[in-house]
Amino acid sequence: MATCPVCGGTLPAQRGPRARRYCSRACQAKAYRARQRQDREHRLPPGEERELLEAYADVPAMELADTLAAAARRLAGALNAGLPADGFDLGVVARIPVVLAARARQAAPAARARHGIPDHRLAAPTAVVIDLAADPAPSRPEVQTPSPELSRDDSVPSSPQPAGAPAKTAPARRTRLSQKAARAVANSARLIKGADHRDTHRWDLIAEDGTVLGHVEPSYGGTGRTGRNGWNHRLAESLAASGPYKTREEAALQCALAWIRVATAPLRRTLTVD
């Protein structure tokens, strides 16, 4: 016969899909207050993180992890057996994770500098996988705003270069990729918050090799409180935006497909006049 863990009384008959744990609302509230009191007793006060780091300064991280795992197993065994939790184990579970997390935060800058990893690659809280197994048709036609180009008659005559000015270098030529290579780059792309995400809510679509495929930004013009009506995307170093799309992931997928079309397009021959 099941008994109440608070008063030891017999539990009433079950009336719903979930088994009853307490015999009454009073016992349930009493158990809740006991858990809250126990949590306050073992919660770390503000400013104790530095003291914990100094107290555990000579203990290796693996030893801390083993101690934490052993305490967690003992707490789990006590819970399964219906026994009260041990105060020492509760203290271990409350303090050692704080020490490990603080050490990890302190070691993060050194790890970035040692491996040459940009900050945005480590600090990315969200990653959206771009799956190009099948090319879905865009939910709405993309509207590309053509960039203004000078005609032959409107070309501006070149002015003589002043003496002492650095020599102008020709822009790097784009390398045409095969469909397989372009898809491999796009498949590895992830959405990462841009440097000015707090102000613009922009996300950067970056591949594993560091190639910036494009950007995904909110689209405004809706009637809601925020004014958003979806998401736009634009390729890197381009001002032409396409959209809007319903979700950020859909806009990122269309951005990856657009980048593939550009990366695999035939190179245009240009004529230069001396």
- The confidence score (pLDDT) of residue 155 equals 46
**Contact in structure between 216 and 203 (CB atoms under 8 Å):** yes
- The confidence score (pLDDT) of residue 129 equals 52
- C-alpha distances in angstroms, 62 versus 39, 214, 265? 26, 41, 52
Write out 236-266 in H/E/C secondary structure. CCCCCCEEEECCHHHHHHHHHHHHHHHHCCC
The per-residue pLDDT string of the chain (274 residues; one tens digit each, 9 = 90 and over) reads 688 888 988 888 877 777 888 888 899 899 888 888 776 665 555 567 778 888 888 888 888 888 999 989 998 888 888 888 888 888 888 888 888 888 887 777 666 666 555 554 444 444 455 556 555 544 444 444 444 444 444 444 444 555 555 555 555 566 888 988 889 889 989 989 888 888 788 899 999 888 899 999 998 877 766 677 889 999 988 888 888 898 999 999 999 999 899 889 887 765 555 5
Q: At 180, list the tokens.
A: 């397989």
- The confidence score (pLDDT) of residue 225 equals 67
Asked whether the whole model's pTM tops 0.85, one would answer: no
How far apart, in whole angstroms, are the C-alpha atoms of residue 214 and residue 130?
Answer: 13
- C-alpha distances in angstroms, 9 versus 2, 3, 6, 23, 187? 9, 5, 8, 7, 60
- The confidence score (pLDDT) of residue 150 equals 47
**Contact in structure between 214 and 205 (CB atoms under 8 Å):** yes
